[in-house]
Amino acid sequence: MKRSKMILLGATFLVTLGLSFTSPTQAETTDQDTVTTTQSNSDVPESVQNAVDDLFDNYMTNDTVDVTDASFSYPTVSTTEKTLYSFNEFSKLPLVKRYFLKPGFSQSNKLNNVRFLYGSHRPDQNDGDITNWIILGADYNGKDIGSKIIHIKSQYEFNNPNNLYMDPIDLTGQITATHKEGQSYAPLLDTENKKSNRALAPNSDWYTDKFMINKRYGSLYYRVSTSEWVNEYYIKPKSNTNIKISDVISNPRDRKFTVSYRRISGQPLYKSNGELWDYTLPNNSEWKVTSIGFDQYGVTYCQVSTNAWARVAIV
């Protein structure tokens, strides 16, 4: 990686993530109100720097990436960004593993003391920058020693909800609608007619044969009629959703999982093979996270007990 490029992108990375890298080799000179900071990377082993440069220049894609699953969803990225990872952990992150990292990198043994992280940018309707991108960074003993921006194709168009969903996935199972006393709390999404004026009756059971995933928020929708779907928020699933949780990263960083917006159905818990436990976590409860993992659709899960995983999604 050319040094001028690295310095420019590294500065952008620090500003974007709001991080401050410091080291004992920094020297500061003060002239009245002016503070100038200089930093030398002379104590970074050449083999380490060369390995990072090789990784970013030759084994991280230079293309604009089309993310076709929930790897770039708000919950997955917000759960995993701005955290320092070993290279082994970093390579398990869905965006990195599936879309960014090319095969053949052979210098991972030089990266034992390097930590990696990323930050994201998504536009909103009032944002001057309408592009989606991820910026990757490498840290060695508190020093920024490399960075790279990877652009991502827009996953959706504003005000067009039909662009938010992955293709339906086969499923066999049953769901039960949940409710609040005297009211139906299971409205339906109609993918053909946009809006549905129907809802599932409280405590009614429904057969479901497919589910789909909202790529923006990571939430599940279960099909209950030809074109009508119910959000996982409003139901208690009783089915194996064919989800497999893998690429587990141990999480000793004091992360907590807070159950919120689950007043109706509680927080479902999955086994690593995708089956559901017969109990849920209550709303407004907080749980210590021991590990994080990812399913084959790019959604993040937090492990809160032995083989009990909570899906991280906005529902």
The pLDDT tens digits for 300-314 are: 999 999 999 999 998
Type of residue numbered 33:
D
pLDDT grade for 65, boundaries at 50, 70 and 90? very high
pLDDT over 90, % of the chain = 55
Check residue 234 and give its pLDDT.
84
Strands (E), 2-159: 27-31, 34-38, 114-121, 132-140, 143-152
More confident position, 177 or 9 = 177
**23: number of Cβ within 10 Å:** 15
More confident position, 246 or 20 = 246
More confident position, 194 or 78 = 78
Residues 303, 290: Cα–Cα separation, whole Å: 6
Residues 196, 15: Cα–Cα separation, whole Å: 45
Check residue 42 and give its pLDDT.
66
Torsion 130-134-140-145 (CA) sign? negative
* Residue 240, helix vs strand vs coil: coil
CB within 8 A of 139, min separation 6: which ones? 21, 84, 114, 115, 116, 117, 145
pLDDT grade for 130, boundaries at 50, 70 and 90? confident
Check residue 31 and give its pLDDT.
40
Residues 314, 220: Cα–Cα separation, whole Å: 10
Check residue 111 and give its pLDDT.
98
Check residue 241 and give its pLDDT.
82
Is residue 212 packed enough to be buried (19+ CB in 10 Å), middle (13-18) or exposed (0-12)?
A: buried
pLDDT higher than 90, residue 156: no
Work out the widest C-alpha separation in the chain, in whole angstroms: 74
Check residue 293 and give its pLDDT.
97
More confident position, 128 or 212 = 212
CA 264 to chain centre: 25
